């Protein structure tokens, strides 16, 4: 019976790790970071179909679930363009936290600590999205999404969008 439990737990862990790796394959700079011997990432249409959560804007600007749709209403085009939707949704945790949860966590904050140094909130969050890292939302690392610094306008738009969700 002990060996049976060990095998069952090993299978579960392997399944979770495979799902995580497949989820990350849609994140980051796919064209800018060649990955030899890596699995082919899912197509953009597949990613959008499998992880998108429908939302609608409630009075006062708050986002609320909207059953019946399979797209993210109100999700900025920059989020889709940069594959953020492979790991994030507005109202639902996927691989990374729901953006509404992020917005609530930083509501009223004006500083963000990144790699042991304190930054103004928007600047620090932009660094986190650009360069990746872990520790703010558990041990799951966020991959670097702009290590060359060429998508800063998109990243600033996304950070400002996320922070505006809980207002």
Per-residue pLDDT of the chain (167 residues), as tens digits, is 555 554 455 545 444 454 444 444 444 444 444 334 433 344 443 333 333 333 334 434 444 333 333 347 789 999 999 999 999 999 999 999 999 999 999 999 999 999 999 999 999 999 999 999 998 898 889 999 998 999 999 999 999 999 999 98
At residue 74, the pLDDT reads 85
Entry pTM: 0.59
At residue 50, the pLDDT reads 34
Q: Do residues 100 and 91 lie in contact, with contact meaning Cβ atoms separated by under 8 Å?
A: yes
Q: Do residues 74 and 91 lie in contact, with contact meaning Cβ atoms separated by under 8 Å?
A: no
Angstrom distance (rounded) from CA 42 to CA 53:
18
Strand ranges, E, within 35-76: 55-57, 63-65
- Considering Cα of 98, then 112, then 133, then 145, what sign does the dihedral take? positive
Angstrom distance (rounded) from CA 134 to CA 146:
16
- Considering Cα of 13, then 87, then 156, then 153, what sign does the dihedral take? positive
Angstrom distance (rounded) from CA 29 to CA 145:
6
DSSP designation for 93 = -
At residue 109, the pLDDT reads 97
Domain boundaries, the chain: 2-164
2-164: CATH topology: Cytochrome Bc1 Complex; Chain D, domain 2 (1.10.760)
Q: Do residues 132 and 113 lie in contact, with contact meaning Cβ atoms separated by under 8 Å?
A: no
Q: Do residues 159 and 125 lie in contact, with contact meaning Cβ atoms separated by under 8 Å?
A: yes
């Amino acid at each position: 019976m002990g060996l049976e439990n060990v095998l069952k737990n090993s299978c579960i862990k392997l399944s979770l790790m495979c799902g995580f790796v497949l989820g990350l394959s849609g994140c980051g700079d796919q064209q800018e970071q060649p990955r030899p011997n890596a699995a082919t990432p899912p197509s953009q249409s597949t990613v959008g179909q499998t992880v998108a959560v429908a939302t609608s804007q409630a009075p006062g600007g708050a986002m609320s679930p909207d059953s019946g749709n399979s797209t993210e209403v109100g999700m900025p085009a920059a989020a889709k363009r940069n594959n953020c939707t492979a790991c994030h949704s507005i109202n639902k945790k996927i691989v990374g936290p729901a953006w509404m949860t992020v917005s609530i966590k930083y509501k009223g904050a004006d500083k963000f600590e990144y790699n042991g140094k304190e930054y103004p909130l928007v600047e620090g969050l932009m660094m986190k999205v650009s360069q990746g890292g872990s520790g703010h939302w558990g041990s799951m690392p966020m991959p670097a999404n702009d290590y060359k610094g060429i998508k800063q306008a998109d990243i600033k738009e996304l950070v400002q969008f996320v922070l505006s969700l809980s207002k």
